[in-house]
């Protein structure tokens, strides 16, 4: 398994409306906490995709481009 760190549950503030949850990030949101929240609390393809800081591109190890998008 090449999925970065161990998954952890992240606590955050949210508002529930029906079957939807809303949470708002701000400029002061910790970047690592944000990635952990998006990755989820269990090992999965999503967790590996988001939590891995570097990926192989050809024969090079490069910073994970998904983190630029997220």
Give the per-residue pLDDT at 39: 85
pLDDT at 34 over 80: yes
| pLDDT confidence bin for 35, thresholds 50/70/90 | confident
13 has pLDDT over 80: no
Mean confidence (pLDDT) of the chain: 81
pLDDT at residue 3, as a whole number: 61
Mean pLDDT, rounded, for 34-42? 85
Which residues, other chains included, contact 2 with Cβ-Cβ below 8 Å and sequence gap of 6+? 48, 52
Q: Which ranges in the chain belong to alpha helices (H)?
A: 31-39, 45-51, 66-69
């Amino acid at each position: 398994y090449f999925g970065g760190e161990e998954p952890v549950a992240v606590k955050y503030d949210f508002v529930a409306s029906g079957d939807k949850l809303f949470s708002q990030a701000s400029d002061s949101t910790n970047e690592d906490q944000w990635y952990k929240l998006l990755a989820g609390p269990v090992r999965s393809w999503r967790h590996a995709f988001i939590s891995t800081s570097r990926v192989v591109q050809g024969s090079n190890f490069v910073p994970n481009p998904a983190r630029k998008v997220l």
